Amino acid sequence: MKLLWIFFALAATAWPQAAGDVNVRYRTKEGRVQVAAGLANPDRDKTQKPEVVVAALGLKPGMTVADIGTGVGYMLPYLSKAVGPSGKVLAEDVQTDFLDQAKAKVDAAKLSNVSLILGGFTDPKLPPAAVDVELVLDVYHHFDEPAKMLASLAPALKPGGHLVIVEYHKADSPQPGHILREWSEVQREVEASGYRLQARIDRITVNQYMLTFVRK
C-alpha cells in the first residue's frame, strides 16, 4: 500500500508546471507581440503546411472543430473552409489580445462560421458534447497543467469525437529546449487522462507528428 501511495504522489507531482519556461514570453504584452508576429508570419505556411494538417483531420461539411490555443487565428481560414457554412469553428485562447487579432482576421475574411471563446488555463470553456475534432496545434507543450486541461477537453467531445495533437519532434524543435517531451511521453500523458491513441502520423510536416485520440 505504501508503494502504491508513493506512485500516485509521484504521478501527481509530475504534471504541474509541465510547460517549464516556454510560457515566459506570454506573460507580458511585449512578449505576446513578439509571439504574435511569429504566428502570423506569411512564411509559416512553408513549414506548417496547414492544408496538409487540415486534410489529415478528416473534417467534413457540417462538423464542429475547436482550435485550442488559436492564437492570432492562423488556422481559422483553413478550418472554416473544411467544415463549410453548415459547420462551426470554435476558436479558443486564453489571451484577449490574441483573440482580438483572431477576430480581426475572422472579420476581414468574413468567416461567418467561426466563434471566439476566451478559455482558461485549465479549461477551454467549450460547450459539452458539441465538438467533432479538437485540434491542439503547437499548443500542448504550453499546458502548465496538462492533466486538468485534458480532463476539461473530454466532455466537449461528441461520441466518437477526436482529440488531435500536433507537435514538433523534440529533436526538431525550432527553439532548442522549447519542446520538453517526446511524442511517446505525450501519448502516455494523454492516455493516462482517459483517452486512447487511435492513430499516429510520424511526419505530418517535415518536423511535426500528429497524434489522434478518442475517449476510452
Alpha-carbon distance values, 70 to 73, 124, 155 (Å): 5, 11, 19
Helices within the chain (DSSP H only): 2-14, 29-39, 44-48, 50-56, 76-83, 96-109, 146-153, 183-191
User: What are the pLDDT digits (tens) for 153-181?
Assistant: 999 999 999 999 999 998 877 776 676 78
DSSP assignment of 26-70, as one string? GGSHHHHHHHHHHHT-TTHHHHH-HHHHHHHTT--TT-EEEEET-
Please answer whether residues 127 and 172 qualify as being in contact, where contact means their C-beta atoms are separated by less than 8 angstroms.
no
Residue 181 confidence (pLDDT):
81
CATH code where residue 18 lies: 3.40.50.150
Relative to beta strand 114-118, strand 64-68 is unpaired
The whole-model pTM stands at: 0.86
Cα gap 199→88, rounded to integer Å:
24
Cβ distance 116 to 106 under 8 Å?
Answer: yes
Cα separation, 178 vs 162, whole angstroms: 26
Total domains in the chain come to 1
- Edge-first strand order for the sheet with 195-201 is 114-118, 88-93, 64-68, 131-137, 157-168, 208-215, 195-201
What's the pLDDT tens digit per position in 86-133?
Answer: 999 999 999 999 999 999 999 999 999 999 999 999 999 999 999 999
Domain range spanning residue 25?
A: 2-215
For residue 2, the model assigns a pLDDT of: 39
The half-sphere exposure of 36 on its side-chain side, counting CA atoms within 13 A, is: 20
Q: Cell numbers of 134, please?
A: 479538437
- Amino acid at position 136, single letter: V
Per-residue pLDDT at 150 exceeds 70 = yes
Q: Which of 125, 118, 166 is nearest to 142 (CA)?
A: 166
- The string of pLDDT tens digits covering residues 74-98 is 999 999 999 999 999 999 999 999 9
